[in-house]
């Protein structure tokens, strides 16, 4: 089942007897999943499962839902804040979606955004963290997609929630996209609501209400972030301003967790979207895939294909005509940026010789 059909099924947009029966079956599976998660978290809470510490502070960024919240630009932002403070961060991640031991798409993107930051990938994040500290030169670790990876102690737990689909259709996997119930937010130190510019004020207020109801300690720690497009990048590293594509017909291609948000961003960048090709998250493109996308683009009256940076880094070098929309994480409220700096400072302050996380 492709990404679009799956989201229609889980959201309830797909109607009829067949989809209704399938949702019921998935609901039963969700009960089993929920029980397993509760047992696992209970073992950690009781201390019957070990939580390992490293020699340096750990900052975790993670989700309540599967994919699509915009972790990668936020990981890059946190690393940049740490570097501006004179620290030397390293990144650890699971490497989900990698093929034959090669770096996955997120690592390839982070290599571009954070070229000097070491980044081992290992399903055992504890082992990855120890490999960084053993090698030396790293005084803080940023754990990508770490909220459910409770084996590694963290000094700051950041949870990202996508404003365009905040609670995974209201159900746990596999009936919905929630990895854990909202009550898991009690473990979080701060929540960042991403893509807040794509939601109404009323929707944002409701998201905050539900977060606070589940985890009252977060009442003054809910931050808002926008992802603003900055340019279009080709495989050779050449970039063009977005203004060159305003009003131009484009075909969108992506294998990400939330393609609808990508399409909305393209439209808001004044591109004329004439067609889309969506693939599963972390999709590895074949030549046949790319040929079909090019055919769809041509049939819709355009040769211009726009994708995400996460997809671009996986394409073969001959795909010179496909460009990726580069985005930057921006806090519309400067005070929210100050809150994040302060929380990071508290987590890693003893490691730092200055106060550069504070408002400058």
pLDDT tens digit string along 38-64? 999 999 999 999 999 999 999 999 999
Closest of 314, 312, 316, 337 to residue 326, by C-alpha: 312
Give me the phi and psi of 168, to 5 degrees please.
Answer: 55, 40
Q: What is the pLDDT of residue 351?
A: 54
Confidence of residue 350 (pLDDT cuts 50, 70, 90): low
3-class SS letters over 228-271: EEEEEECCCCCEEEHHHHCCCEEEEEECCCCHHHHHHHHHHCCC
Q: For residue 10, is the peptide bond before it cis, meaning its omega torsion is within 30 degrees of 0?
A: no
Per-range mean pLDDT, top range of 16-30, 92-106, 346-360: 16-30
Q: What is the mean pLDDT of residues 291-296?
A: 95
d(CA 188, CA 184): 8
What is the CATH code for 228-328?
A: 3.40.50
**Closest among 290, 288, 295, 291 to 307, alpha carbons compared:** 290
Would you list the domain boundaries of the chain?
3-45, 58-225+331-351, 228-328
Q: What is the average pLDDT across 198-214? A: 97
Q: Kindly report the length of the chain.
A: 360
Domain 58-225+331-351 listed as CATH 3.40.50.300: yes
Say if residue 359's pLDDT is above 70: no
- Whether the per-residue pLDDT at 67 is higher than 80: the answer is no
Give the pLDDT confidence score for residue 257 in this predicted structure.
Answer: 86
Distance, in Å, from the CA atom of 289 to the CA atom of 2, rounded to the nearest integer, reads: 13
How many helical (H) and strand (E) elements, i.e. helices and strands, does the chain have?
A: 10, 12
Beta bridge partners of 33: none
**What order do you get walking across the sheet with 190-194 strand by strand?**
89-92, 140-144, 58-63, 156-162, 190-194, 222-224
pLDDT mean over 95-123: 90
3-state SS class at 21:
helix
* Residue 85 in this model has a pLDDT that exceeds 60: yes
Which residues, including other chains, have CB under 8 Å from residue 302's CB and lie 6 or more apart? 248, 249, 250, 251, 274, 275
Identify the residue with better confidence: 280 or 160: 160
Q: What is the mean pLDDT of the chain?
A: 93
Residue 28 structure tokens: 């039963």
Is the Cβ–Cβ distance between 311 and 253 less than 8 Å? yes
Q: Read off the pLDDT band of 1 (50, 70, 90).
A: low
Whole-angstrom distance, CA of residue 103 vs CA of residue 203: 37
Q: Do domains 58-225+331-351 and 228-328 have the same CATH topology?
A: yes
| pLDDT value of position 202 | 98
Distance CA 153, CA 345 (A): 17
Report the range of poorest mean pLDDT among 122-126, 292-296, 350-354.
Answer: 350-354
- Residue 353 reports pLDDT greater than 70: no
Instruction: Please compute the mean of the pLDDT values over residues 193-214 and round it to a whole number.
Output: 97
- Rounded to an integer, the average pLDDT of 175-190 is 97
Tell me if 86 sits within 8 A of 353, measured CB to CB.
yes
pTM higher than 0.75: yes
Residues 6 or more apart in contact with residue 243 via CB below 8 angstroms = none
Residues ≥6 apart with Cβ < 8 Å to 51:
44, 150, 151, 152, 153
pLDDT of 357 > 50? The answer is: no
DSSP 358: S
């Amino acid at each position: 089942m492709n990404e679009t059909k799956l989201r229609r099924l889980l959201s309830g947009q797909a109607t009829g007897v067949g989809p209704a029966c399938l949702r019921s079956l998935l609901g039963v599976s969700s009960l089993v999943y929920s029980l397993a998660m509760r047992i696992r978290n209970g073992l950690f809470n009781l201390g019957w499962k070990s939580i390992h510490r490293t020699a340096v502070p750990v900052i975790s960024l993670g989700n309540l839902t599967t994919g699509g919240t915009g972790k990668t630009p936020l990981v890059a932002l946190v690393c940049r804040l740490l570097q501006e403070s004179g620290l030397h961060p390293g990144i650890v991640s699971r490497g989900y979606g990698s093929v034959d031991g090669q770096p996955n798409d997120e690592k390839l993107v982070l290599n571009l955004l954070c070229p000097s930051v070491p980044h081992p990938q290992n399903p055992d994040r504890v082992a990855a963290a120890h490999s960084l500290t053993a090698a030396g030169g790293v005084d803080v670790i940023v754990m990508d997609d770490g909220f459910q990876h409770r084996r590694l102690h963290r000094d700051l737990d950041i949870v990202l929630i996508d404003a365009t689909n905040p609670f995974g259709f209201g159900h746990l996997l596999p009936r919905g996209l929630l990895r854990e119930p909202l009550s898991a937010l009690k473990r979080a130190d701060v929540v960042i609501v991403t893509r807040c510019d794509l939601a109404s004020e009323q929707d944002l207020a409701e998201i905050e209400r539900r977060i606070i109801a589940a985890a009252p300690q977060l009442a003054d720690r809910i931050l808002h972030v926008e992802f603003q497009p900055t340019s279009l990048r080709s495989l050779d590293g050449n970039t063009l301003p977005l203004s060159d594509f305003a009003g131009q017909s484009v075909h969108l291609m992506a294998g990400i967790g939330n393609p609808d948000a990508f399409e909305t961003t393209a439209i808001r960048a004044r591109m004329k979207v004439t067609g889309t090709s969506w693939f599963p998250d972390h999709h590895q493109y074949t030549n046949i895939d790319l040929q079909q996308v090019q055919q769809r683009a041509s049939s819709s009256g355009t040769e211009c294909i726009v994708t995400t940076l996460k997809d671009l880094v996986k394409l073969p070098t001959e795909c010179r005509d496909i460009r990726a929309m580069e985005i930057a994480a921006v806090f519309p409220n400067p005070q929210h940026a100050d809150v994040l700096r302060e929380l990071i400072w508290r987590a890693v302050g003893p490691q730092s010789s200055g106060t550069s996380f504070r408002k400058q």
